[in-house]
Amino acid sequence: MSTETGDEMLRLPAAGLETAAASVLQALGAAREDARITAEVFVGADIAGESSHGLRLLITVCERIEAGGHRAETAIDVERDMGAIAVWAANRSIGQVVAVRAMDNAIAKATLYGVGIVAVRDATSLTSAKHYALRAAEAGCIGLVHTNASRKVMPPPGGVTPVMGNNPIAAAAPAGRFGTICLDMAMTAVAIERINMARERGATIPPSWALGPDGAPTTDPELAAQVMTLLPFGGYKAFGLGMMTEILTSALAGGDVFAGDATGFRPLDHPMRTSFTLTALRIDAFTDLNGFTARVESMVETMKSARPEAEGGEILFPGERSGRLARERRRDGVPVAQKTVEAFSALCRRLGTPPPEPV
């Protein structure tokens, strides 16, 4: 099979991918449970259709562990723990492990206090924000995830110099017979992956996506990828939302604002200095859980009753498409670009662990 970019795809079983990924992480020094958690998040991204945050990014994380940018063993300092809130320093520990532990701690606090909030600084990227919000929803909570990002890609309104990262947010809530509603979004009009896809196709991009080297909007994906100045969706609105996310993360956790001098995943040995805040709201502390899910079901029903824009079109609630895709891929296998599989298999062989096998 192939994608619209022409990449050949291999289909691999989800469980086999998770096992192979966890084995590599253990070989690099991660504890067994930490390796399992990390593998689950990255493979989960591929399962949900987020290949940019999946196996191919895990390869970079493994390179960062080897180079010292990520710490293989988890070393969290609990700096404050006051009832419903906590503040942690992550000390460059693997972001997925820290975020899962932080959300689990927030859920435990919500069980006692109705709300739980854990703010973390000096972390690495937690990648797929929805993973942690969904974890809270599965526990009968509303989950909220805010994180800053370690690569500055967004200029402020009226400016051309990137000052802020993409600062993703996610929120999830139980939705009764509809499963879970989950919003997962970043602040730019488009992810860099979309620009890379346009480069591979030799296509132009809309001028609302990125700036060129002269500070003017560009339709050339090559220039956009070189400059990496991405425009926020909705202009000042998304930039303002990103600013508030920065306040809820780095400012609140005492971390480096805008991740300081971090430049993303590269150089491999540099700290990423991200901050994130995970929140759990225990629904039955506010209202009857069954009544809540009935109201959310009603919201979805009203939404789906709208006349579709196109004949035969379908109205989808937030998270429905990725949830449907995840169920299909867990059953039928996960498509991964052949080049990614080859690179990951080479990493497995170098570390002496079994590579994943196609379906």
pLDDT of residue 359: 83
Choose the weakest-confidence range: 5-14, 103-112, 128-137. 5-14
Beta-carbon count within 10 A of 321 CB: 13
pLDDT by residue (tens digit) across 132-179? 999 999 999 999 999 999 999 999 999 999 999 999 999 999 999 999
Q: Where are the beta strands (DSSP E) in 149-283?
A: 169-174, 180-185, 210-211, 229-230, 274-282
Phi/psi of residue 164, nearest 5 degrees: -135, 150
Angle at CA of residue 114, ends 113 and 118, nearest 5°: 75
pLDDT by residue (tens digit) across 215-240? 999 999 999 999 999 999 999 999 99
Indicate whether 7 pLDDT > 80: no
Half-sphere exposure of 264 (CA within 13 A, CB side): 10
Angle at CA of residue 50, ends 52 and 224, nearest 5°: 40
Phi/psi of residue 229, nearest 5 degrees: -115, 100
Q: How far is CA 12 from the centre of its chain?
A: 22
pLDDT by residue (tens digit) across 37-78? 999 999 999 999 999 899 999 999 999 999 999 999 999 999
pLDDT of residue 14: 97
Phi/psi of residue 358, nearest 5 degrees: -60, 160
pLDDT of residue 38: 98
pLDDT band per the 50, 70, 90 thresholds, residue 193? confident
- Inter-CA distances, 142 with 55, 112, 127, 233, Å: 28, 15, 20, 25
Strand partners, 10: 336
In 3D space, the residue among 293, 299, 300, 252 whose CA is nearest the CA of residue 276 turns out to be 252
Indicate whether 131 pLDDT > 50: yes
Question: What percentage of the chain reaches a pLDDT higher than 70?
Answer: 98
| 47 in Cβ contact with 16 (< 8 Å) | no
The pTM score is 0.95
C-alpha–C-alpha distance, residues 259 and 76, integer Å: 18
C-alpha–C-alpha distance, residues 287 and 173, integer Å: 14
Domains of the chain (ranges plus CATH)? 9-67+320-351 (1.10.1530.10), 77-188+233-289 (3.30.1370.60), 189-231 (3.30.60.50)
pLDDT band per the 50, 70, 90 thresholds, residue 200? confident
**Mean pLDDT of the 246-272 span:** 97
Report which residue type is found at 257.
V
Q: What's the DSSP call for residue 269?
A: T
Q: What's the DSSP call for residue 183?
A: E
Mean pLDDT for the chain overall: 96
**Mean pLDDT of the 109-129 span:** 98
pLDDT of residue 192: 84
Half-sphere exposure of 290 (CA within 13 A, CB side): 0
| 213 in Cβ contact with 226 (< 8 Å) | yes
The tokens of 125 are what?
Answer: 């990227």
pLDDT of residue 6: 52
pLDDT by residue (tens digit) across 299-358? 999 999 999 999 999 999 999 999 999 999 999 999 999 999 999 999 999 999 999 999
Q: How far is CA 203 from the centre of its chain?
A: 27
Q: What's the DSSP call for residue 308?
A: P
C-alpha–C-alpha distance, residues 50 and 53, integer Å: 6
The tokens of 117 are what?
Answer: 């909030």
Question: What percentage of the chain reaches a pLDDT higher than 90?
Answer: 94
